[in-house]
Structure 1
Amino acid sequence: MLYGIGCDLCEIAHLEKSLTGAHAAAFIRRVYGEAERAALSLDEPLPAGRSAAHRLASAAANFAAKEAFLKAAGTGLREPFSLCEIEAVRLENGAPAYHFSGQTAEWMQAHGLAARLSLSHEGGMALAFCTLETL
C-alpha cells in the first residue's frame, strides 16, 4: 500500500556553490553520507570538465532524493531525520536506491516501509521521485 509520494528539483548551479564555497566541507558532512561521499568523491576538489559536471549533476540528484524522501514521509526535515542518514546510492546495475542509517533507518523499520527512488538530470536541473510503500 502506498504511504507517500515525494518529488524534488535541484538546480545544479545552486548546489555547486554549496559544494565549492567557504563552508563546503561542513555542508558535505551534514548532507551526504559516507557511501555518497565516496561514490561521488565529494571529499576531493572538483576537477574541471565533463567529470566535474557529472559529479555535480549526481550530487544534485542525490540532494533532490533526500528532499523527495522527506516529502514522501510527510514530515519535512525534523526529528528523527538527518540528511546524511538518507543516502541515494547506485546498485550494481546502475539503478538508484535509498540506503538509510541511524534514526532514519529505525523510523523506516518502525513504520514498516520500503522506499523506491527514480533520478534524472538534464538542462541544469536534477529531479528525484520517491515513493514509500508499506511492506
Structure 2
Amino acid sequence: MLYGIGCDLCAIAHLEKSLTGPHAAAFVRRVYGETERAALGMDAPLPAGRSAAHRLASAAANFAAKEAFLKAAGTGLREPFSLCEIEAVRQESGAPAYRFSGKTADWVQAHRLTARLSLSHEGGMALAFCTLEQPET
C-alpha cells in the first residue's frame, strides 16, 4: 500500500555554493552521511573539470533524495529526522537506494516502510523521486 510519494528538484549551482563556501565542512557534516561522503569524495577538495561536475551533480541528486523522502513521509524536516541519517547510496548495479540510520531508521522500521528512489540530473538540475510503501494488512 502506498504510504507517500515525494519529489524534489535541486539546482546544482546552488548546491555548489554550499559545498565550496566558508561553511562547507559544517554543511557536509550536517547533510551527508558517512557512506555518502565517502562515495562522493567529500573529504577532499573538488577537482577541476568533468570529475567535479559529476560529483556536484551526484551530491545535488543526493540532496534532492533527502528532500523527496521528507515529502513522502509527510513531515518535512523535523524530529525524528536528520538529513545525514537519510542517505542516497548506489547499489552494485548502480541503481540508487536509500540507507537510513539513527532515529530515521527507527521511524522507517516502526512504520514498516519500504523506500524506493529514482534520481536524475541534466541541464544544471538534479531530480529525486521517492515512494514509501507499507505491506498490505
TM-score, normalised by the number of residues in structure 2: 0.98
Amino acid at match of 1:108: V
Match of residue 76 from structure 1:
76
Give secondary structure in 2 for the equivalent of 1:22: coil
**Do structure 1's residue 38 and structure 2's residue 38 form an aligned pair?**
yes
Give secondary structure in 2 for the equivalent of 1:98: strand
Match of residue 115 from structure 2:
115
1: CA distance between counterparts of 2:6 and 2:14? 21
> What's the offset of the Cα at 1:95?
0.1
> What's the offset of the Cα at 1:105?
0.2
Amino acid at match of 1:96: P
> What's the offset of the Cα at 1:69?
0.1
Deviations 1:67-100 (A, max 9, x none): 0000000000000000000000000000000000
> What's the offset of the Cα at 1:52?
0.1
Gaps of 5+ in 2: none
> What's the offset of the Cα at 1:43?
1.1
Match of residue 4 from structure 2:
4
Gaps of 5+ in 1: none
Aligned length: 135
The 4+ residue runs of structure 1 with deviation greater than 3 A are none
2: CA distance between counterparts of 1:42 and 1:134? 34
> What's the offset of the Cα at 1:13?
0.1
1: CA distance between counterparts of 2:17 and 2:46? 12
Q: Provide the identity percentage.
A: 87
2: CA distance between counterparts of 1:134 and 1:82? 22
1: CA distance between counterparts of 2:42 and 2:85? 16
Amino acid at match of 1:101: S
Amino acid at match of 1:122: E
2: CA distance between counterparts of 1:94 and 1:58? 12
